[in-house]
């Protein structure tokens, strides 16, 4: 037991150390860290000094019990301190003491500044602690008489590729204080393996910064090209690839930031050359933090979209944004639940011809019709209208900030032009926007100002007050608490929409219905919901084969990460987040290595409404889930470097007490080159997904459930759930 504990401690120590190297170029892969560690020893004096700093930083962080040790988040600034001192001074006992003190201070500063910057504007700490500690050490070293200057190997550097390429590689190597083209090439390979998009940003960012300086100064001093050039690279990567969702707007912002960092670099160099000090990462920090802080102050939700709360590699953030948008959740649209029970119709939609015109064009009016008519009898009485006096529900989480319910209901055909909205409830959202529900029945409001609401909570009844010629419910999102404020785009979540009475109703995770559409609130099936429910600790053991080859056994495990996201993890380490909400089970944020079992599962069940009726729906799961030939992989990587979505159509029907969920998936690469696939899942009550089958272009994947287990926990032994039918 002791040996196992020690091995785990050593494993975590080493992994955190290697991730610290990778983190400098925004990677989290310890294998990339191995490559970067090796490259740092191109100049052994600097490489060993950096390793000492990283080791001291790791020990300090572990002794002080700081979190996220295995991620290297508190350590890379200590590594940079060691590298910076090791490229200037010869490594000896005196320098080791200085490195130790600097590494300890870097860890403490990293933790403290991380909290300060997060509270300030949710800004990342980046390498700010390193710069502060490095300058402290450099100024202190000027008073020490026992430190010896480290001289680079005097042999001239032979060109590797020549010209701009060598300049770029030397600048990239200087981010690790190893200004050599071969070391820079190793760093670039690691960056390329981490993210091709980050590699593109690095090249273009350096080109923009280098070109601007050349144009402004006529020529760049070699020192500025080496020690200042990496600032252009890091700025472009951070602004355009890590802290924003990739788009042409974010790319343009990254190039502007790279240009600004070149100007800042010249200004900072003019001041620091008085003290014979390098610019280090000051231009990168000043530019990046200023740009991100300024972007936080924008009043629009148009791109570029920031990722300060959850920065990630561009391929991952792009895929999440693409999937969310394909499911209808546009970044500038507010998700709302249907504010009623049952099925209603859209009387007037966005940009409606009657009253939904700018700046109030984002609004929906709901009524109920039967056989094309909104009332029974002759429609002269309010009670003749099907929607009159029916419950109105809260469409969101929020707080009631204002309401009115003392206006009388209008007789059919009459309007109250003086009180446009009639009786209403105004709800404040945590995002700062407001939801208005209007034309409510007189004296029907059941909530009070300051009351906290949850989705589905009854708050009033449908009426005919204000500018309303017949009973209906009006809903919109507005920008301020003033009635009549400009409206904001929104969408309905978890509803079925039928546009034609002869057409089948389709399920939409997010929908913006048009006039005349028939909207129904999704009614969950308890048995299906139970069959697909994945509580924490659930283990599903499957055996699977590809092209009827040897069968392999693998387990899918339901768990939760430290951020509170539910995870379905495969034995290979691949994982996907999932959520069961609003009568829908959906998967997102696929991470980790290629995994046939998990990818087949996500492709077959990635978006599954838990409805109790025959239903069909569409989705756009990632094209990387589809097993394809090598040629198709090459075409996909060239045509869709950031990834893309499949065109998937799903259908589910229940036969013989078993739900059969089928999917047809298409990947269009080029005109005439289309990859097609079919998925089929059998879902049985009390057992879940017992059989999955995926067929595509000669590739067949079959998955069979072997057993269901619950994960062993303290006081809870591992148990097997019977698979008897």
Q: For residue 699, list its beta bridge partners.
A: 696
pLDDT over 90, % of the chain:
48
Q: Which of 658, 640, 661, 660 lies closest to 649 in space, CA to CA?
A: 661
Task: Find tokens 């090598």 and name the residue.
Answer: 630
Query: Rounded mean pLDDT of 190-209?
Result: 94
Residue 504 vs residues 218, 497, 604, 658, 680: alpha-carbon distances, Å: 68, 9, 21, 21, 21
**What is the pLDDT, as a whole number, of residue 724?**
41
Q: Is 722 left (phi over 0), alpha (psi -120 to 50) or beta?
A: beta
Tokens of 275: 């003290």
Query: Rounded mean pLDDT of 402-416?
Result: 94
Strands 391-393 and 458-461: antiparallel
- Give the integer Cα–Cα distance in Å for 347 and 515: 6
Q: Compute the half-sphere exposure of residue 283: CA atoms within 13 Å on the CB side of its CA.
A: 32
Least confident of 32-46, 249-263, 322-336: 322-336
pLDDT digits (tens, 9 = 90+) for 204-261: 999 999 899 888 877 666 666 666 789 999 999 999 999 999 999 999 999 999 999 9
- Give the integer Cα–Cα distance in Å for 638 and 505: 37
Range of 9-23, 165-179, 209-223, 288-302 with top mean pLDDT: 165-179
- Give the integer Cα–Cα distance in Å for 199 and 466: 59
CB-neighbour burial class of residue 216 (10 A; exposed 0-12, middle 13-18, buried 19+):
exposed
- Give the integer Cα–Cα distance in Å for 515 and 349: 5
Q: Which residue has the higher pLDDT, 523 or 221?
A: 523
Which helix (DSSP H) or strand (DSSP E) does residue 701 occupy?
A: strand 699-710
- Give the integer Cα–Cα distance in Å for 139 and 155: 30
- Give the integer Cα–Cα distance in Å for 440 and 445: 8
Task: Find tokens 């984002």 and name the residue.
Answer: 362
Whether domain 334-521 has CATH 2.100.10.30: the reply is no
- Give the integer Cα–Cα distance in Å for 213 and 215: 5
Whether residue 605 has pLDDT greater than 70: yes
Whether residue 31 has pLDDT greater than 50: yes
Residue 645: DSSP 8-state: B
Is residue 322 within 8 A of residue 644, CB to CB? The reply is yes
**What is the pLDDT, as a whole number, of residue 64?**
85
Confidence of residue 640 (pLDDT cuts 50, 70, 90): confident
Least confident of 182-196, 612-626, 687-701: 612-626
Cβ of 352: how many Cβ atoms within 10 Å? 18
Tokens of 685: 């009550």
Confidence of residue 713 (pLDDT cuts 50, 70, 90): low
- Give the integer Cα–Cα distance in Å for 169 and 178: 10
- Give the integer Cα–Cα distance in Å for 683 and 658: 6
Q: Which residue has the higher pLDDT, 593 or 199?
A: 199
- Give the integer Cα–Cα distance in Å for 345 and 409: 21
Confidence of residue 406 (pLDDT cuts 50, 70, 90): very high
Tokens of 74: 């508190």
Q: Which residue has the higher pLDDT, 477 or 499?
A: 477
CB-neighbour burial class of residue 9 (10 A; exposed 0-12, middle 13-18, buried 19+):
exposed
Least confident of 171-180, 198-207, 348-357: 348-357
Which helix (DSSP H) or strand (DSSP E) does residue 289 occupy?
A: helix 282-295
- Give the integer Cα–Cα distance in Å for 683 and 217: 69
**What is the pLDDT, as a whole number, of residue 489?**
86
Q: For residue 344, list its beta bridge partners.
A: 519
Whether residue 502 has pLDDT greater than 90: no
Helix, strand, coil tally for the chain in percent (to 5): 35, 25, 35
**What is the pLDDT, as a whole number, of residue 715?**
46
Confidence of residue 77 (pLDDT cuts 50, 70, 90): very high
- Give the integer Cα–Cα distance in Å for 423 and 600: 51
Whether residue 62 has pLDDT greater than 70: yes
Strands (E), 444-535: 452-453, 458-461, 473-478, 487-488, 490-498, 506-511, 518-521
**What is the pLDDT, as a whole number, of residue 213?**
86
Cβ-count burial 507-543 (b if 16+ within 10 Å, e if not):
bbbbbbbebbbbbbbbebbebbeebbebeebbbbbbe
* Residue 3 neighbours by CB under 8 Å, 6+ apart: none
* Residue 617 neighbours by CB under 8 Å, 6+ apart: 506, 507, 508, 607, 609, 649, 650
Q: Which residue has the higher pLDDT, 631 or 348?
A: 348
Task: Find tokens 């099907």 and name the residue.
Answer: 386
Which CATH code is given to the segment(s) 12-167? Answer: 1.10.3430.10
CB-neighbour burial class of residue 635 (10 A; exposed 0-12, middle 13-18, buried 19+):
middle
* Residue 42 neighbours by CB under 8 Å, 6+ apart: 173, 178, 180, 182, 183
334-521 has the same fold as 12-167: no
Q: Which residue has the higher pLDDT, 448 or 529?
A: 448
Q: Which of 114, 81, 119 lies closest to 100 in space, CA to CA?
A: 81
Strands (E), 181-328: none
pLDDT over 70, % of the chain:
92
Q: Which residue has the higher pLDDT, 172 or 297?
A: 172
Q: Which residue has the higher pLDDT, 725 or 671?
A: 671
Residue 566: DSSP 8-state: E
Q: Which of 192, 150, 151 lies closest to 169 in space, CA to CA?
A: 192
Q: For residue 678, list its beta bridge partners.
A: 664, 695
Q: Which residue has the higher pLDDT, 39 or 300?
A: 39
Torsion sign across C-alpha atoms 264, 267, 271, 272: positive
Considering the entire predicted model, what is its pTM? 0.76
Residue 69: DSSP 8-state: G
When the pLDDT of each residue in the chain is averaged and rounded to a whole number, the result is 87
Q: Where are the domains positioned within the chain?
A: 12-167, 195-309, 334-521, 526-721
Confidence of residue 301 (pLDDT cuts 50, 70, 90): low
Q: Which residue has the higher pLDDT, 491 or 66?
A: 491
Is residue 351 within 8 A of residue 361, CB to CB? The reply is yes
Tokens of 583: 């009568």
pLDDT digits (tens, 9 = 90+) for 426-483: 999 887 889 999 999 999 999 999 999 988 899 999 999 999 999 999 999 998 999 9
Q: What is the 3-state secondary structure (H, E, C) of 516-565?
A: CCEEEECCECHHHHHHHCCCCCEEEEEEEEECCCCCEEEEEEEEECCCCC
**What is the pLDDT, as a whole number, of residue 725?**
38
Is residue 490 within 8 A of residue 447, CB to CB? The reply is no
């Amino acid at each position: 037991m002791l040996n196992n504990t020690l091995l785990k401690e050593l494993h975590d120590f080493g992994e955190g150390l290697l991730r610290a190297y990778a983190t400098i170029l925004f990677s989290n892969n310890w294998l990339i860290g191995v490559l970067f560690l090796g490259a740092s020893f191109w100049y052994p004096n600097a490489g060993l000094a950096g390793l000492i700093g990283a080791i001291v930083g790791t020990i300090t962080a572990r002794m002080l019990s700081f979190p996220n040790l295995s991620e290297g988040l508190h350590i890379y600034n200590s590594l940079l301190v060691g590298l910076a001192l090791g490229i200037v001074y010869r490594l000896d006992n005196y320098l080791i003491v200085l490195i130790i003190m600097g590494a300890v201070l870097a860890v403490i500063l990293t933790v403290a500044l991380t909290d300060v910057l997060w509270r300030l504007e949710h800004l990342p700490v980046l390498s700010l602690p390193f710069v502060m500690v490095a300058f402290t050490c450099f100024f202190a070293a000027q008073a020490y008489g026992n430190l010896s200057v480290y001289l680079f190997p005097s042999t001239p550097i032979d060109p590797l590729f020549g010209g701009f390429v060598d300049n770029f590689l030397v600048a990239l190597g200087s981010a690790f204080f190893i200004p050599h083209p071969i070391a820079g090439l190793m760093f670039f390979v690691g960056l390329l393996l981490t993210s091709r998009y980050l590699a593109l940003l690095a090249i273009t960012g350096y080109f923009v910064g280098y070109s601007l300086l050349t144009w402004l100064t006529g020529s760049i001093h070699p020192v500025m090209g080496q020690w200042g050039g990496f600032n252009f690279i890091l700025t472009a990567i951070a602004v355009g690839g890590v802290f924003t969702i990739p788009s042409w707007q974010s790319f343009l912002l990254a190039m502007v930031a790279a240009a600004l960092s070149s100007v800042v670099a010249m200004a900072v160099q003019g001041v620091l050359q008085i003290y014979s000090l390098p610019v280090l990462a000051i231009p990168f920090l000043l530019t990046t933090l200023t740009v991100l802080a300024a972007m936080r102050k924008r009043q629009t939700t148009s791109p570029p979209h920031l990722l300060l709360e959850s920065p990630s590699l561009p391929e991952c953030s792009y895929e999440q944004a693409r999937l969310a948008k394909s499911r209808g959740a546009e970044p500038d649209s507010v998700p709302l639940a249907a504010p009623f029970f049952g099925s209603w119709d859209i009387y007037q939609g966005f940009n409606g011809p009657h009253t939904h015109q700018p700046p109030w064009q984002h609004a929906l009016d709901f009524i109920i019709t039967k056989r094309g008519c909104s009332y029974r009898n002759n429609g002269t009485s309010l009670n003749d209208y099907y929607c009159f006096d029916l419950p109105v529900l809260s469409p969101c989480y929020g707080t009631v900030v204002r309401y009115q319910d003392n206006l009388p209901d209008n007789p059919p055909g009459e309007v109250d032009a003086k009180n446009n909205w009639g009786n209403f409830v105004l709800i404040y959202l945590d995002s700062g926007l407001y939801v208005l529900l209007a034309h409510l029945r007189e004296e029907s409001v059941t909530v009070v100002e300051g009351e906290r609401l949850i989705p589905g909570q009854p708050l009033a009844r449908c009426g005919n007050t204000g500018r309303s010629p017949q009973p209906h419910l009006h809903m919109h999102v507005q920008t301020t608490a003033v009635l009549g404020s400009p409206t904001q785009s929104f969408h309905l979540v978890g509803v079925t929409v039928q546009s034609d009475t002869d057409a089948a109703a389709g399920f939409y995770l997010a929908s913006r219905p048009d006039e005349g559409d028939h909207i129904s609130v999704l009614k969950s099936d308890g048995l299906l919901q139970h069959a697909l429910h994945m509580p924490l600790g659930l283990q599903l053991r499957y055996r699977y084969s590809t092209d009827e080859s040897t069968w392999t056994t693998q387990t899918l495990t339901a768990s939760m990460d430290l951020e509170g996201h539910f995870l379905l993890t495969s034995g290979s380490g691949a994982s996907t987040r999932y959520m069961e909400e609003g009568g829908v089970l959906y998967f997102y944020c696929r991470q980790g290595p290629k995994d046939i079992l998990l990818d087949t599962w996500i492709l077959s069940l990635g978006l599954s409404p838990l409805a109790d009726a025959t239903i069909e729906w569409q989705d756009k799961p990632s094209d990387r889930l589809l097993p394809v030939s090598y040629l198709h992989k090459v075409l996909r990587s060239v045509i869709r470097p950031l990834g893309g979505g499949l065109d998937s159509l799903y259908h589910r029907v229940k036969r013989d007490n078993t739900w059969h969920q089928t999917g047809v998936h298409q990947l269009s690469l080029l005109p005439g080159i289309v990859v097609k696939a079919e998925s089929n899942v059998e879902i049985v009550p009390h057992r879940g997904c017992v059989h999955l089958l995926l067929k595509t272009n000669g590739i067949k994947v079959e998955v069979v459930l072997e057993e269901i287990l619950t994960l062993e926990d303290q006081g809870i032994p591992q148990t097997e759930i019977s698979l008897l039918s």
